């Protein structure tokens, strides 16, 4: 596979992956709708940071360990499921009543950069995806480390563009999203989705 073929093939595959609805999409939509574009951007930067952590782990061998070690995979999987469940429960029992609402507690605890980052870091499926997927697009004779970071960089750019589109799409609906019932409904819906993802992750197999 030539360099050009590898880049084109990976870009196509990564685009399809990015457009597939998942936890990141739910997080960006909820944050943009309820918190506003600035907080949603923080969440997107956190998601990207989490992907970069996995890129480093895969490039330098830790990802391969998680891919072959059942214990390491299970521990990280359960930690990730517990974290997602915590976020989901918080949204269900303490939904916000207005867009941009912030109390002293929420300023300390609702750091969307950290939520986006830890949501990805504690999801071993991302690491295993990178371990099993990225090598297919590294041309023979090229540096695996450099290509791993390069391909993940393409994935991050696609994710940022998709998130930007999602964030922009919420702006025409801003007048509706300021209503208390709508905001609470979004929080509770997203919380339920997070709990479903937590259960799916906890009971998932390789």
The confidence band for 170, taking pLDDT boundaries of 50, 70 and 90, is confident
**82/187: higher pLDDT:** 82
Domain holding 89, by residue range, is 3-202
Mean pLDDT of the chain: 79
pLDDT at position 101 is 45
Round to whole Å and give the CA distance between 76 and 79: 5
pLDDT 10s digits, 74-87: 887 788 788 778 87
Question: Could you tell me if 43 and 118 are in contact, meaning their C-beta atoms sit under 8 angstroms apart?
Answer: no
State how many domains the chain has.
Answer: 1
Q: Work out the number of other CB atoms within 10 angstroms of the CB of residue 104.
A: 7
pLDDT value of position 108: 40
Q: 32 pLDDT exceeds 70?
A: yes
Residue with tokens 């480390």: 145
Two structure tokens written together for 50: 């989490």
Is pTM beyond 0.75? Reply is no
The residues near 111 (Cβ < 8 Å, ≥ 6 apart) are 42
- Residue 138 backbone class (left: φ over 0; alpha: ψ -120 to 50; beta: rest): beta
Diameter of the chain measured on Cα atoms: 58
Say yes or no to pLDDT of 27 above 80.
Answer: yes
**Which distant-in-sequence residues (6+ apart) come within 8 Å of 144 by Cβ?**
59, 135, 138
- Here the tokens at position 63 are 């990802």
Q: What does the block give as tokens for 53?
A: 């952590």
């Amino acid at each position: 596979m030539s360099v050009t073929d590898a880049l084109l093939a990976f870009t196509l595959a990564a685009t399809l992956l990015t457009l597939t609805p998942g936890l990141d999409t739910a997080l960006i939509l909820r944050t943009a709708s309820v918190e506003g574009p600035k907080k949603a951007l923080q969440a997107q930067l956190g998601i990207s940071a989490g992907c970069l952590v996995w890129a480093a782990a895969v490039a330098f061998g830790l990802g391969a360990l998680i891919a072959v070690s059942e214990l390491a995979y299970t521990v990280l999987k359960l930690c990730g499921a517990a974290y997602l469940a915590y976020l989901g429960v918080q949204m269900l029992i303490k939904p916000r009543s207005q867009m941009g609402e912030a109390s002293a507690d929420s300023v300390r605890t609702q750091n969307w950069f950290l939520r986006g980052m830890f949501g990805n870091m504690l999801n071993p499926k991302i690491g295993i995806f990178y371990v099993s997927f990225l090598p297919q697009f590294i041309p023979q004779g090229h540096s695996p480390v450099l290509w791993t970071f390069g391909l993940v960089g393409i994935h991050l750019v696609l994710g940022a563009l998709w998130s930007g589109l999602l964030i922009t799409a919420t702006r025409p609906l801003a007048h509706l999203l300021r209503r208390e019932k709508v905001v609470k409904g979004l929080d509770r819906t997203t919380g339920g989705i997070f709990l479903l993802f937590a259960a799916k992750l906890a009971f998932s197999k390789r």
